Amino acid sequence: MKARTRTRHRVRQWLLRALALGVLVMLAWGFVWEPGRLVERDYAIALPHWTPACDGLRLDVIADTHTGSPRNGLDHLDRVVQRLQASDSDAVLMAGDYVILSVFLGKYVPPEIIATHLKPLTARKQVYAVLGNHDWWKDGPRVRKALEGAGVVVLQNQAREVSVQHGCRFWIAGIGDLLEGSPDIAGTLAQVRDAAPVIALTHEPDLFARIPDTVALTIAGHTHGGQIDPRLFRDDPGRFVRGSHFLKGYLVDGDRQLFVSPGIGTSILPMRIGVPPEISRLTLRSAADSP
């Protein structure tokens, strides 16, 4: 009897130690390793409202750089810029939140300094951006001025015609952030002067519910993919869920298409598990020409 008791006690001790070790590994992964990573992921997307003239268009998408969050300083931003410079993409889209309002153990970095580190990118690529809620909380006009001073085209309820090589022409409709940016969807799309395809760029993906289905693709950020793998929760991967904090990647709602960047930095809790910082590489094609 005593031997059985001792055996059970030892097993319990080993289980507790294994559990403690697992927790330590998870914390080290989530707080130290993963926030400092940088992955590049390719997405091939077939769009109903796309022109064959722009088949194969490649766009690099980043969001929520939040420079100054833990494991995500200016050196990490430089890594992002170097990867974007080396890419064969036709343009770079940035979906907001370049500064941080508050994150545990983080340090605020002024937008003027962030913009300086973006200059090597704008010297080689067309870069288009919208502002996010953190940017507005930390003085949106100041953030916009800094980015524009570095050569970034910042769109606030504005549409811009974009031309790239091989005769591809499309529009980017930069729509204000749903939380803080006073979005004007109708007014922005009214600036589109012809039938060329439209990409809507915004920060908060919930705005997608109000985007008309004539827009070829909506691109957003904000969620950071939940900073923890959304498959641990109820959200159905690949499907738009309004109000979700765990959206990431390519999502659909009927015939409408949405892409949500998992982001680069962190906010509130400086932790990522299963959602590493990501540069998303989108290759766009017409659904009519896709198998």
| DSSP structural state of residue 22 | H
Average pLDDT over every residue of 196-214: 96
CA dist list (Å): 98 to 9, 74, 137: 52, 12, 11
| 161-170, 190-199, 201-210: least confident range | 161-170
Instruction: Say if residue 235's pLDDT is above 60.
Output: no
Percent helix, strand and coil across the chain, each to the nearest 5:
35, 25, 40
Q: What is the DSSP string of 242-278?
A: TT-S---EEEEETTEEEEE---SS--BS---BS---E
Instruction: Say if residue 193's pLDDT is above 70.
Output: yes
Question: Which residues are bridge partners to 159 per DSSP?
Answer: 173
Homologous superfamily assigned to 37-289 = Metallo-dependent phosphatases (3.60.21.10)
Residue pair 111/67 in contact by the 8 Å Cβ criterion: no
Where does the pLDDT of residue 268 fall: very low under 50, low under 70, confident under 90, or very high at 90 and above? Answer: confident
- Let me know if 138 is exposed, middle or buried by CB neighbors in 10 A (0-12, 13-18, 19+): middle
Task: Using a cut of 0.85, tell me whether the model's pTM lies above it.
Answer: yes
Where does the pLDDT of residue 130 fall: very low under 50, low under 70, confident under 90, or very high at 90 and above? Answer: very high
Average pLDDT over every residue of 166-174: 94
Element at 227 (helix H, strand E): none
| 5-9, 32-36, 85-89, 120-124: least confident range | 5-9
